[in-house]
Structure 1
Amino acid sequence: MKKRTLSQLTAAALSLFTAFGPVQEVHAQQSKASQWPRGITYEIFVQSFADSNGDGIGDIKGMTSKLDYLKDLGVEAVWLMPMNPSPSYHKYDVTDYYGIHPDYGTMADFKEFISQAHKRNIKVVMDMVLNHSSNQHPWFVDAVKNENSPYRDYYVWTHKNDPQTQKEGRPTGADSDNTQHWHKVEGSDYLYYGYFYDGMPDLNFDSPKLREEVFKIGRFWFTEIGVDGFRLDAARHIFPDERPIDNHNWWVYFRNEMLKANKDVYLVGEVWAPSDIVAPYLKGLPALFNFEMSWNIPKAVNEGRGDSLAIKHAKITNFYQSVNPDFVDATILSNHDQNRIMSTLNNDVNKAKMAASLLLTLPGSPYLYYGEEIGMTGKKPDEQIREPFLWDTKAKDKSRTSWMKPVNTTDETVKSVAAQKKDKNSIYHHYKTLISLRNGSKALTYGSIEPVQLEEKSISAFVRTQGDESVLALHNLSAKEVTVALPNNLSSYTKALYKGKGSQQKGASVTLPAYTSLVLKK
């Protein structure tokens, strides 16, 4: 059964397709300006975040107990990595789309978490894995056993003697193996399609029954459970790479259906690609992760050169606005699939602080990966970038998870939250300060960006403007102190909103020590 084109969808479905550094000072903090989804979102791997019952596995009650920590940090939403029942530790292979993994707790626990989060004005975004299920999902188990199963059409099949079909769906790139995504079923002449691996068979979105099932799943979590949004895994792979328009149209269709369940629905998609490939998805997924800037920021910091960073960001922002003026640019430094930003920056705390300063002053609606704010380290394999969070020293930490033995983030390598709260120079306090600065500024939250070119190439300089508020951000990405002269047209920016230690402004002259920032207001 080959994947068909979306022209075979019902007329009603098609009609919907077309719809749509060191110690710093912060001065004169304004009242709160940000409002989610333009605020800060915090990504949590539940398994590693906080354990409530001593079994070593992070759980929902543990997360609930840490909501005050997140509110105090300045977070306005959480993105929870998958919580559905699953045979794997990461849970991206779902066996029940309507349940909660028993290791994490009960549906009642989750409803209480949502209630407590909402009391603190924190929204809840749930990871929704719709591209594929687990090969242990009852749908797939039945479909494998019986070619006449009602779930057979939920998946994508081909006969082993049909090599032409097996060439479909191959990924882009010179290293592609045309048949690597087709997998054998023992005792059968049929193969099934699984883009990632044989344990994750792709769902067949050419099937009207499957589409209706997916809408039912979405409505369940929005209307019966009360989540505020979905992070949509592998959004680029719903249809094969050679069918991009079908992918774009599917998300318009999905969003229209979800809007019927929740008029304020928030959908953020994972489209791991440069901006020209990402942009067409914005019509159905108004929020998309900006992976391009997650590559550009650490590259600029490691090279000590910031002069082109704002130009690149402005180019992406302007491009996205031309596709969807209301887009939400979900900016990140790293996530659960990438090496942790601290490790990418060679465990240099000053560089990590600079990366945070850039993320929180450039345009976008930033996502923080749990532990970034305390400088957790980690490089792939994946388990080692998803290690237990450190709330306190091991002897005192009753919330610390122990489902795995950490390789990178230990008491010897990373200071706990409790220790960093006592140290005003800590990366935790740096994050909290910059988050507060951003949350209190209309310009930093919503404003446009205008790159500023200075003679010193280590400086990333840009103006952010929203309404009557305009701020000038200056960041020194190098390991040496620099002094620059501001152009005449920026002479009115004299009021310091944020002042890194040792930074100075005297008339048109600005001095920035290594890895230090200065944010000025008219």
Structure 2
Amino acid sequence: MDWRRLRTDGGETEFKTSFESGDGSSHPGPPRFVTVGEGIVDPNGNEMETRDSLAPWNPDSDTTYDWRVLESPPGSTAVPTDGPVAEFEPDVPGEYTLGLEAPDGTHELTVRAFPEADDDAPRPQVELDATVEDGRVSLSATASVVGTGDPDIEFYVDDRHGDVLEADGTIPVSATDEPTRVYAVAVDERHSVPDAVELVPASEGTDTQSVAIEYPFEPPEWAVDAIVYEIFTRRFPDQDDPTFETIADRLDHLEDLGIDVLWLTPFLAAESGFGTPMEAGGPHGYNTTDYFRVDPDLGTMADFEALVDACHERGIRVVFDLVINHTAETHPFYEAAVDESHPDHERYRDWYRWVDFDERDADTYFGWDGIPNLNYANPAVREYLLGVVDFWAGRVDGFRADVAWGVPLSFWTEVSDRLTGRDSDFFLLDETLPSDTEMGGGRFHMHHDDVLHDTLEQLGESVAGDGTDESDETGRKDEEDAVADEFTDSAAGLDTTTADAILEAIEDRQRRGAHPDSEWLLYVENHDTDRYLAEYGRDAQLAAGAATLTLPGSPMLYYGQETGVTGRRDPMNWGAFDEDLLEHYERLIDLRKSHPALQAGADLERIPYEADTAAAVAFARTDSETDRRVVVVLHFGTGTATVELEESVGETDLLIGTDGLEWERTVAVDSVAVLDADGDGHVDGSRTLE
């Protein structure tokens, strides 16, 4: 096998994948659950839909693979497309068995096709569990759906592990001589994202009549309550000397804030390095020219690794922005692909997707010129990018997958298996806009909560006015290249003229059928949006930031959100912090990290209240383990709002340590108040103080 790959300097570098997916074979992974009429497809221009494909795992570009149907429901004539990476569109509901012919044998894959359904119908959720007794594993699953549905549950054993599920729904322990994965799918008007348990046999020398039950889709424990901080890598350090070293010099700021995860926007060699003008997006780095080389203007690989070590010394994990949907058009692979005189033209022409190759018209999204989409139908592309994944997985704590919606689900399933199977602490965060629940349940641990973000933006527009004119002065407002602006309204169907829309946004996760273990990244702004402070003003920004730190999910701050930066990708304002704003975020983060009722495991509860403005909302959070409960009141408008509660609460605002009540059960709030509601019972629907 030829492991050489072109470098940006015209030379070649060697790489080799170092991890294995699954059992190391070509088997294409877990069973697939799809809908007739949608199928497993990956067409060009598929900008707003889930992309998918059938593909061998651990691909070898020098090997021949072939797909065929082994069994299908009566009346079906569906067959996979030709090629090692195939598409398949079931035409009849039922269960299909596909065969992948590979050098290491024929691998069978179950494809369960459900009937066509109304995409607007609520999607069910399912949670799978198992118990072991008398030498048998019993499965139990709980299904739910918003509304009046009553979902059925179907169980499937991974095809790699054989047919061990018996007619009574149990599995003999003796049949699990290797780790065995079982899936549950809830079926109502639509089918759920699957849940899974892993049955792990007892180790040698222990009780052979026992297996351990593991939950492979759970996120790493450290990520569940993490507070994330995104930096625009080339704008965060001191501007006189912006390097990995000067980023490390600024980590005390993150440690003092209480940050758990540092998300670095791309820092590899890229076309958009230092000197890229703001009208071209600034030095963003999302058009890679070399996947194995850091931008030399930022330092060396050793300097980057020293930055990671410095983060770890402070208890901060590091997330790498993985950009593998596309490359720069100046990447040597693309330059070879478009140049028929290039000696490697034939090798790289099929590494990219084309609208019209003769016209050199590459497939891109939304007219984003200069970043041609890679061709995941080519096993060589998958093989190469698995090598990229392996290379960086050994150097960081997790990936944030840029344009995750543009890469087939089959690839992310393999990446997740490959990395979390090796290290259960490895973390995966996706960018899918609109957020796609299919990315949960064995692909990504956390998703961008675009619905909440869009709700916060629309609230800013409807209840906070236009804010300040600072965005016009910086030239950032209404820029055309914001990714968020390219998509349809994520908060469609929610009444975003009132502040309680933020509660509807959280509840919408269940209606969309998110996997129960999926975590959500809550953000006010990021590198693709305008600054909330500049767009909607200080009062709204204080409330929006508080929302992300008091609602269920993992809060994220975009660098300078807490210090008063007003330009989307402006330099960090070192030496010119808005100290009052910074103190606001320090208090919020400290309270979030110290109070169990504001953390991930706490329930969100709607409560009765009356407010003198639609820009205010009240809700409760309760931690069932400690019975701690708080009431949170947010106000997105200017001035002070008055909110009357139907329950008694503590008089002290936990956020600032002063009285938050004007009189009993009436809260006067500028932007946010957090009040204790730890009672011993209810009286007339209200909670009383002890």
Superposition TM-score, scaled by structure 1 size: 0.75
Matched residue, 2:352? 155
1:177 counterpart residue number:
none
Letter in 1 for 2:593: N
| 1:455, distance to aligned residue in structure 2 (A) | 2.3
1:256 Cα shift? 1.3
| Pairwise CA distance, 1:228 | 0.6
User: Which residue of the partner structure matches residue 267 of structure 1?
Assistant: 428
Show the counterpart of 1:325: 516
TM-aligned CA distance change 1:61 to 1:131, over 3 Å: same
Output the CA distance in 2 between the equivalents of 1:65 and 1:295: 34
CA contact (8 A) 1:234 1:271 kept: yes
Q: Which residue of 2 aligns with 1:23?
A: none
**Structure 1 gap segments, 5+ residues each:** 21-33, 162-183, 186-190, 239-246, 379-384, 393-415
Greater relative CO (CA pairs within 8 A, separation 6+) = 1
Tell me the residue number matched to 1:67. 251
Letter of the 2:616 counterpart: I
Corresponding residue for residue 386 of structure 2: 215
2:622 to 439, 445, 465: 465
Residue 236 of structure 1 corresponds to 405
* Residue matched to 2:437: 279
Report the CA distance between 1:513 and its aligned residue. 3.9
Deviates most, 329-338 or 436-445: 436-445
Per the alignment, residue 253 of structure 1 pairs with 414
What amino acid sits opposite 1:369 in the alignment?
Answer: Y
| Residues 2 and 444 of structure 1: CA distance in aligned 2, closer, same or farther (over 3 Å) | closer
- Per the TM alignment, residue 365 of structure 1 is displaced from its structure 2 partner at its CA by 0.3
Matches within 5 A, 1:75-94: 75-88=259-272, 89-94=283-288
1:304-315 to structure 2, matched below 5 A, reads 304=463, 306-315=498-507
Match in the other structure for 2:29: none
Mapped contact 1:498–1:520 kept (Cα < 8 A): no
- Residue identity in the other structure for 1:74: G
> Equivalent residue of 1:99, what SS?
strand
SS of 1:48 mapped into structure 2: coil
Rounded to whole Å, the distance in 2 between the matches of 1:484 and 1:201 is 52
Report deviation, 1:158: 5.5
Aligned residues: 425
C-alpha deviation, 1:291, in angstroms = 1.5
d(CA) in 1 for partners of 2:556, 2:667: 30
Which one of 566, 575, 578 corresponds to residue 377 of structure 1?
Answer: 566
Identify which of 292, 308, 313 aligns with 1:119.
Answer: 313
- Shift of residue 494, structure 1, vs aligned partner: 5.8
- 1:390 matched to 2:573? The reply is yes
For residue 230 of structure 1, what is the amino acid of its counterpart? F
Question: Quick one: structure 1 residues 460 and 148, their matched pair in 2 at CA, closer, same or farther if it must change by over 3 Å?
Answer: same
Q: Distance in 1 between matches of 2:264 and 2:526?
A: 12
Pairing partner for 1:45 from 208, 232, 235: 232
In structure 2, C-alpha distance between the alignment counterparts of 1:67 and 1:38, rounded to whole Å: 20
> Does the CA contact (< 8 Å) of 2:653 and 2:660 recur in 1?
no
Tell whether the 8 Å contact from 2:404 to 2:431 is kept in structure 1 after alignment: yes
| 2:670 is aligned with 1:479 | no
Q: Quick one: which of 508, 521, 545 aligns to 1:356?
A: 545
d(CA) in 2 for partners of 1:209 and 1:341?
42
Contact 2:338 2:345 in 1 (8 A): no
How far residue 496 of structure 1 moved from its aligned partner, in angstroms, is: 4.2
Q: Secondary structure, in 3 states, of the residue corresponding to 2:674?
A: strand
Q: Which residue of 1 aligns with 2:291?
A: 97
Q: In the aligned structure 1, how far is the partner of 2:677 from the partner of 2:270?
A: 50
8 Å contact kept, 2:499–2:636: no
Give the 3 Å change call, closer, same or farther, for CA 298–499 of structure 1 in structure 2: farther
Cα deviation 1:390-435 (Å, max 9, x = unaligned): 111xxxxxxxxxxxxxxxxxxxxxxx13xx44xxxx1010011101
Q: 1:249 to 1:97 in 2, by over 3 A?
A: same
Contact 1:39-1:445 at 8 Å conserved across structures = no
Equivalent-residue separation in structure 1 for 2:402 and 2:227 (angstroms): 20
TM-superposed deviation, 1:292 = 1.6
The alpha-carbon deviation at position 499 of structure 1 amounts to: 4.4
Evaluate the alpha carbon distance shift between residue 250 and residue 335 of structure 1 in structure 2; reply closer, same or farther with a 3 A threshold: same
> What 5-or-longer segments of structure 2 have no aligned partner?
1-41, 45-51, 55-79, 86-99, 102-106, 110-158, 161-182, 184-193, 197-220, 273-282, 464-496, 679-690
Distance 2:312 2:598 in 1: 25
**1:198 to 1:448, Cα distance in 2 relative to 1, 3 A:** same
Q: Using the alignment, how far apart are the partners of 1:306 and 1:434 within structure 2? A: 23
Who is 1:192 aligned against? 362
Q: Which moved more, 1:298-307 or 1:40-49?
A: 298-307
Q: Distance in 1 between matches of 2:373 and 2:605?
A: 43
Task: Give the % identical residues.
Answer: 28
Distance between the aligned counterparts of 2:252 and 2:398, measured in 1?
Answer: 21
Q: Per-residue displacement from partner, 1:89-123 (whole Å, max 9, x unpaired)?
A: 21111111111001111100111111110111100
Could you tell me how far apart the structure 2 residues matched to 1:67 and 1:510 are?
A: 41
Alpha-carbon distance between aligned partners in 1 of 2:597 and 2:339, rounded to the nearest angstrom = 58
Greater helix fraction, Structure 1 or Structure 2: 1
Question: Could you tell which deviates more after superposition, 326-335 or 197-206?
Answer: 197-206
1:129-182 residue CA offsets vs partner (Å, 9 max, x unmatched): 010011221222222234853223221236568xxxxxxxxxxxxxxxxxxxxx
> Hey, what does 2:334 align to over in structure 1?
140
| Cα pair 2:291 2:388 within 8 Å, conserved | yes
Give the match's secondary structure for 2:292: coil
Q: Does 1:337 align with 2:528?
A: yes
State yes or no: 1:454 paired with 2:609. Answer: yes
Contact 1:38 / 1:328 at 8 angstroms: preserved in 2?
A: no
Change in 2 beyond 3 A, CA 1:44/1:482: closer
Counterpart in the other structure of 2:456: 297
When normalised by structure 2's length, the TM-score is 0.57
- Counterpart of 1:192, as a letter, is A
Inter-partner Cα distance in structure 1 for 2:345 and 2:303: 39
1:128 aligns with 2:322: yes
Q: Counterpart of 2:588 in 1: which secondary structure?
A: helix
CA gap 1:198/1:296 in 2 versus in 1, 3 angstroms: closer
SS at 1:200 equivalent: coil
8 A contact 1:310–1:451 mirrored in 2: no
Q: 2:284 and 2:301 mapped to 1: Cα distance?
A: 19
The structure with more strand, counted as a fraction of residues: 2
Q: Which residue does the alignment assign to 1:242? A: none
Q: Which residue of 1 aligns with 2:163?
A: none
Q: Could you say if the C-alpha distance between residues 13 and 193 of structure 1 is closer, same or farther in structure 2, counting changes exceeding 3 Å?
A: farther
Superposition map of 1:161-172 within 5 A: none
Q: CA deviation at 1:68?
A: 1.2
In 2, Cα distance between the equivalents of 1:492 and 1:374? Answer: 32
Provide the C-alpha distance between the structure 2 equivalents of 1:330 and 1:110, rounded to a whole number of angstroms: 25
1:110 aligns to what? 304
Which protein shows a greater Rg? 2
**Rounded Cα–Cα distance in structure 1 between residues aligned with 2:570 and 2:499:** 35
* AA in 2 matched with 1:349: R
Deviates more, 1:142-151 or 1:362-371: 142-151
Q: Is 2:260–2:316's contact at 8 Å kept on the other side of the alignment?
A: yes
Equivalent position of 2:134 in the other structure: none
How big is each residue's C-alpha offset from its partner over 1:491-522, in whole Å with a ceiling of 9 and x where there is no partner? 36566422486631643x22314334233241
Deviation of 1:318 after TM superposition, in Å, equals 2.7
Q: Does 1:512 align with 2:668?
A: yes
What residue identity is the alignment partner of 1:324?
Answer: H
